[in-house]
Chains A and B, each alone.
Chain A
Amino acid sequence: MSEKKSAERVDFNELKTGGFIKQNQKDLFTVRLRVPGGRLDVDKMSKIAAVAKKYSKMGYCHLSFRQSVEIIGVHIDDFDAAVKELAAFGQPIASCGPRIRVPTACGGNEYNPNGVMDAQKKALEVDKVLFGTKCPHKFKISFSACPIDCARTRGMDLGFQGVVDPNYEDDPCTGCTLCEKACLEGAIVSDEDGKPVFDREKCVFCGDCIKACPTDAWTPKRKGWAVRAGGKHGRHPRKADNIMLFLPDEKVLDYISKTVEWYNANGERGERIGTTFDRVGVEKYKEEVAGLFGDS
């Protein structure tokens, strides 16, 4: 197909940020929607289903690894119409290429008892403000509400994982030892009276002791986000570096902005931020970015 002819068939401005992926089948494309944190309003879900039913030549959707719905087998001639119908009820298309991608997140702390921080809310905020920001290569962000880390923050360019710092007061403690039972890390051992002896070095800040304590002898001192950066999967996976602990919730957007500024200044085109760390040293990043936000 000539360029002129194809220009008539699809609006290439729509394609610039991606979300439109070539398939094996001639003239069929995957339309990737933008679903931050993987949370879908049920009304929206049924409207997406209606659009998919109308335009998928293959009769199915796929859930992408970044939690978004992909409509499989959309004909190139139908692309504009499908995008317009999705936009009519506020459903945008996702992105490809060297920019901030749709943030992913676990269920958060609204309904999951393990949740420490509101991962869903943060993913929505980041998507709203920073989605599509240009950088040297793709940039993936995720949020896990607790240290179980279902959102795999160690495999992200930038990952945030909820943490809570436990504080112990002796007075309310009855020596029941439930906190020792609750702690999977061996960070709490009971003495002869059943009172906890806390080893902070072993603590992963999940807050299980706080949740288990029947008398509120354990309470949250502070909550925030553990920050990890430089992770990726793919052909050559790299585990993220631990950058800092207890980044305050309200600093997350600023932290991401400063990180992307740093990445744009230090990263080479086509290089993930983890590769930049390996080249210039993660310490440089820690000093120049994490340093602005205090230490843990």
Chain B
Amino acid sequence: MSENVADEKIDLRGVLCPINFVKTKLKLEMMEDGQVLEIALDDGEPMRNVPRSIKEEGHKVVAVEKVDDGYKIFVKKS
């Protein structure tokens, strides 16, 4: 039902910082530039840390969606 389209998905709900970021990073490394990764994250620490670390790595968060038990963020690899 998401309005945003992703090439790959990763569900990191229940995964703690910084493991969630490391898994995100590894996933992005296997993708092509310009592809979009959908990441499911818990609210709180993960939502505070992961998007910022993604930005520091040079990728771009293109959308954020609130879902029932957390958030989905869409990241364009660059």
Contact = CB atoms under 8 A, between A and B. Distances in A.
A212 B56 contact: no
A211 B55 contact: yes
B60 interface: yes
A263 to B, nearest CB: 41
A113 interface: yes
A163 to B, nearest CB: 18
Contact of B51 (A113, A174, A214): A214
B22 interface: no
Given A176-B64, A178-B61, A113 B56 contact: yes
Interface in B37-78: 43, 47-48, 51-53, 55-56, 60-64
Interface residues of B, number: 13
Interface size grouping (class) on chain A: 10 to 19
Interface string A173-194: 0101110011010000000000
A149 B53 CA distance: 21
Contacts of B60: 214
B63 A211 contact: no
Contact of B52 (A174, A177, A184, A208): A208
A211 B48 contact: no
A182 B48 contact: yes
B51 A212 contact: yes
B64 A177 contact: yes
A26 to B, nearest CB: 51
A143 B61 CA distance: 33
A211 B53 CA distance: 9
A178 B48 CA distance: 7
A9 to B, nearest CB: 55
A215 B63 CA distance: 11
Given A176-B61, A176-B64, A178-B64, A214 B55 contact: yes
Interface of A: 113, 174, 176-178, 181-182, 184, 208, 211-214
Interface of B: 43, 47-48, 51-53, 55-56, 60-64
